[in-house]
Structure 1
Amino acid sequence: MSDSLQALDWGELVGRLGSAAELEASAREAGALLRKRQVAGAVDLLRLCFAYVLGRFSLRTLAAWAEQRGLASMSDVAMLKRLKASADWVGSLVSLLLAERCPEAVAGLPGGLRMMAVDATVVAPPGPKRDYFMVHTVFDLSRLQLCSVEVTDRHDAERLSRGARPGELRIADRAYARATDLARAVAAGADFLVRAPSNYPRLLDSEGQVLDRLALCREAAEKGVLDRSVQVQDGKSKLAVAARVVIFPLPPEAAEKARRAARRLAAKASYAPSQAGIEMAGYLVLLTSLAPDDWPPERLASTYRLRWQIELAFKRMKSLVGLEDLRAKDPDLARLWINTALLAALLAEDDLPALDPEAPDSLPLAA
């Protein structure tokens, strides 16, 4: 059993999540504890979830451990069903803790849009044959809940449009700034807000001419911020989608830090960075389908910063409970695993940096 599981004080943990009665009520409401025939109550069920994740138990070992501790009496197949049914419940506990720390995330958006942070990470399970795979997640920032987990082959590309629906604002980092995927998200009825790298995607003006990204950044430096309508075009298919490019110069200290990071990254990857690329590292470049009337530049920047709550929470989770130990490829079981890991990370650190709305990327502050 892992040290983290042994160290848990269950009385204190239950107290931090409300009470045993409140856990019982929330588990029943979420459909995780409809019958007590195999598990006595919500506290025991939560302990099984923690044991599965923090104890690194197989389902068979977990069933034997639960029987020995008097927590539950069930087969490994029944244990699997019980854990999968608990994914939403554990997710609701995560959202309660997140809401306490960051109430501004649930304040709501114009038009009833739901903020969806899209991310993916590569996972390499332990063992001699390390079968790398991708974990694609969609986190509802409006409800502070993990709403989608998909585990795929590592060659399955990150896609902003994965599961996109009408009424969503999809927020993502540079890896998702691809014209074809932005177009798919719009076709699904969603809006997008993504950060763009210095060298892609291609931006066109109203006459179809390619815009010079460095010139746009320098114009933003002169004006304080640049907000311009563009066409985002895929270089191969020539597919284009209408958008706004919004560029903020980072504060001098933050810009220099970003440029040093760009140089280090280039050195690590063994290539010589261009001077233009280094200069543009000192700017925040956002692409969005949102209308300027409801979404002025400052609001876009502050909304993009909210994405860091889940981004850094996952990074913290990796270091605290080891996302690399994720063995589940079933979507519901993987969601239970990640939600439990997030809950453990939140309980481990009251002042989790992942919940700081000030991005570590030194994004411009709203005026």
Structure 2
Amino acid sequence: MDTLGEEWSVVTRFLPDGWRELARSTGALQRARQVSSADVLLRLAFLYAASGLSLQQAAARSSTSGLARISAVGLMKRMRNAEAWLQALVAAVFRESACRAPLGGVAAGRRLRIVDATHVKVAGSNGTDWRLHYVLSLPSLTCDFAEVTDAKGGETYKRVPVQPGDVILGDRGYCHRKGVAYVIDDGGDALVRLNANSFPLLNADGGRFELLTALRSLKGLGTKGWKVWFEANGRRYAARLCAVRKSAIAARRSRDRLQKLARKKGKTVSPATLEFAEYVFVLATPGLDDLTPEQVLELYRARWQVELSFKRLKSLFDMGSAPNRDPNAVRSWIYAKLLAVLLIERLGEASRLFFPWGFPMELGKPLAGVSGGSGCVPDRDFPAQPA
């Protein structure tokens, strides 16, 4: 806590202008009782969400350190009220991040969303106790849906409320015919990593689409698309398969992962599965037909760019107690974790600069590149100094 207090002025330089005032206008900081400022509130949120502590542990540590004398119940109420504020901070920091993914080709006004789920453990448990399902919008990373289920709650598009025009990105866990059909029926579009074993495709005459044969026709590192169909709920739906061959290094890594996992389970990987590992292939529903195969794959890559942050979030989820079931508190918990990861990324971008004393000399001025642009700090503005 002492270290954080000393470095807090450096951390807050990566937050948007007016972030403290925003805490009051969004209702996160309605009164200064117990929590004296927006700085204290944000540090409390990080202490609870980004440190893997329970409400009781975070409240106790806050009181002991002198940050704020607050109870677990009081902290939960503060987290509930902080949702809109944390959401706005996440959106602002992500917009300035150098890790923004390309979203070109998608018509303006369409809502881009990522669906994902992760398991949550209760302290002392050896297995999955809860599963947190959530949907984030791109490029703002705003959470527009969250649901907590028990360990039996599976991943499916059918959990997600869909509005006409939505484009929902999902990994293989969401590659189920009924789930994709549900998105189409509700006026949205799905872009999902295809599971060759659980999602059979059809050709124009209703026969089986030979996936591996089609993939073998890819030349070099070029992309290609095929018109396909699938059946669900007694109906036939059109879609498009888009694929690209991986580089030799990426393909070898994928095969090695499959074989390592199979050895752990005492199994053998089939030759077809090893060959499938040489490609990336996704399924896009008809509302995305105006995109080229390259644009479809770039859009799917946007899902993976956010997954890089999710992997860090998942490790944090496993470290602490499960959050309560209050929807507002859960979403605030997610936003606080996302904000912590984004700030770590921004600090990483700036760390290419070397300051022997540990901080930029002009703390009153933002680092070059922090406000707007790509988020990267140009070397020409602050040349690196020798150690």
TM above 0.5, yes or no, is yes
Are the counterparts in 2 of residues 192 and 290 from structure 1 also a CA contact under 8 Å? Answer: no
* Cα distance in structure 2, aligned partners of 1:130 and 1:286: 31
Per the normalisation by structure 1, the TM-score is 0.83
* Cα distance in structure 2, aligned partners of 1:272 and 1:143: 42
How many Å apart are 1:91 and its aligned residue?
Answer: 2.4
* Cα distance in structure 2, aligned partners of 1:177 and 1:53: 31
Residue equivalent to 2:147: 150
Q: Which moved more, 1:27-36 or 1:308-317?
A: 27-36
Task: Name the amino acid aligned to 1:91.
Answer: Q
Residue equivalent to 1:141: 138
Q: Which moved more, 1:80-89 or 1:35-44?
A: 35-44
Q: Structure with the greater relative contact order (CA < 8 A, sep ≥ 6): 1 or 2? A: 2
Structure 1 residues 29, 187: CA separation in 2 closer, same or farther (over 3 Å shift)? farther
Residue equivalent to 2:204: 206
* Cα distance in structure 1, aligned partners of 2:85 and 2:254: 39
If each structure's helix is expressed as a fraction of its own residues, which one has the higher value? Answer: 1
Are the counterparts in 1 of residues 221 and 247 from structure 2 also a CA contact under 8 Å? Answer: no
Are the counterparts in 1 of residues 118 and 314 from structure 2 also a CA contact under 8 Å? Answer: no
Task: Name the amino acid aligned to 2:193.
Answer: R
Are the counterparts in 1 of residues 106 and 291 from structure 2 also a CA contact under 8 Å? Answer: no
Unaligned runs of 5+ in 1: 358-367
Q: Which moved more, 1:277-286 or 1:63-72?
A: 63-72
* Cα distance in structure 2, aligned partners of 1:149 and 1:293: 29
Residue equivalent to 1:308: 304
Residue equivalent to 1:363: none
**Map 1:223-242 → 2, pairs under 5 A:** 224-234=222-232, 239-242=235-238
Structure 1 residues 202, 56: CA separation in 2 closer, same or farther (over 3 Å shift)? closer
**SS at 2:197's partner residue?**
coil
Deviations 1:258-302 (A, max 9, x none): 222222232233322221111111111110114465211010111
Unaligned runs of 5+ in 2: 350-373, 375-387
Task: Name the amino acid aligned to 1:96.
Answer: A
Structure 1 residues 281, 66: CA separation in 2 closer, same or farther (over 3 Å shift)? closer
Are the counterparts in 2 of residues 99 and 144 from structure 1 also a CA contact under 8 Å? Answer: no
Are the counterparts in 2 of residues 182 and 241 from structure 1 also a CA contact under 8 Å? Answer: no
Q: Does 1:245 align with 2:244?
A: no
Q: Does 1:334 align with 2:296?
A: no
Q: Does 1:286 align with 2:275?
A: no
Q: 2:20 aligns with which of 20, 24, 39?
A: 24
Q: 1:119 aligns with which of 113, 116, 120?
A: 116
Residue equivalent to 1:11: 9
Stretches (4+) displaced over 6 A: none
Residue equivalent to 1:167: 165
**SS at 1:201's partner residue?**
coil
Q: 1:256 aligns with which of 238, 252, 255?
A: 252
Structure 1 residues 233, 263: CA separation in 2 closer, same or farther (over 3 Å shift)? farther
Structure 1 residues 82, 108: CA separation in 2 closer, same or farther (over 3 Å shift)? farther
Q: Does 1:40 align with 2:21?
A: no
